[in-house]
Amino acid sequence: MSEKNVAILGATGVVGQQMLQCLEERDFPVRELVPLASQRSVDAGRTVSFRGEEVPVRLAEPAAFEGADIVLGAADDATARELLPEAVRRGAVCVDNSHAFRLEPDVPLVVPEVNAGDIAGHHGIIANPNCATIIGLVPVWPLHQAAGLTRLIVSTYQAASGAGLPGLLELEREIRCVAAGEEVGESAPFQYQLAENLIPQIGGFNEEGYTSEEMKMQNEGRKIMHLPELRVNCTCVRVPVVRSHSESITAEFERPLSVERAREILESAPGVRVVDEPSSSRYPMPLETSDQDLVWVGRIRRDLSAPDGTSSITFWCCGDQIRKGAATNAVQIAEYLV
């Protein structure tokens, strides 16, 4: 692979830092690394560690993209909308982790295990999907290829890492408060105390009572899998877990699909590890699935509520939100560009 100049927009954040680690782990052909962040990080003299060296952080501004071949975006929506088109104008291809461009009709939205072919149709920007969408679709896609997906019923159990560094720090603070018998007080960025609690809201509500996070599974899933009529019902819950999202998924299909066949398909699916030994209490959990890149799948079973009992499968999956749900997926996309 030819070497590329790689810029990371938002290099000092949780996802940006993980992108650096993934580039290093996967031996991505980086000629020059350009870490970009806010003026505050620059004023503080921040550096990032990459391949044994400390690389100074530069100010995220249009001129900083001169000479960049690939830009990995790990910034908020507003920053992405402002700066990534400037990078494209200067000749870079951007892989963006924000929500800013995901549903734009001319921007590919990509999970490499599902629709890597869409990358070729980019016009300078490729969008990284929502973390829960990525983790859910990696195992759903091979089952769809076998039996024709028609409907998804999903409940997600999303870690504090989904709220970025503020979410991680807040959960750690709350745990310390609870352990010391102290009042937790204000819980920003969460609506309520997360420690010893569950919060059935991620994002704002629409007129139907669904949150923005819940609608991503439908809207992004339809685009990624090229299934514009896919029916999706999703409930997203924030849970007091540091990292790694979990999901309960019931998938309905056009054609019969046995539990045994579903397990065989998943055991050979890219990006999936089957851990499904209920008699030994072996199934995916956040503790085991954190800090790695596979989506673990278990509790594979027949949907007892399905009318015919043969064309609906229920399973449980877990995946690291910061890695496969964000940084690793973006780096995988970038690998296709080189």
Quick check: helix, strand or coil at residue 87?
A: helix
CB atoms within 10 A of CB 55: 18
- 318 as an active site residue: the answer is no
Q: Which of 60, 33, 35 is nearest to 47 (CA)?
A: 35
Q: Is 144 a catalytic residue?
A: no
Q: How far apart are CA 13 and CA 177, in angstroms?
A: 25
> Which residue among the candidates 131, 234, 236, 318 is catalytic per the annotation?
131
- The full DSSP string for 233-270 is EEEEEE-S-SS-EEEEEEEEESS---HHHHHHHHHTST
- CA distances (Å), 275 to each of 61, 178, 245, 299, in order? 45, 33, 16, 8
Beta bridge partners of 93: 70
Residue with tokens 């999907």: 129
Q: Which of 99, 122, 144, 245 is catalytic?
A: 245
Please state, in angstroms and rounded to a whole number, the distance separating the CA atoms of residues 228 and 318. 26
Residue numbers annotated as active site: 131, 245
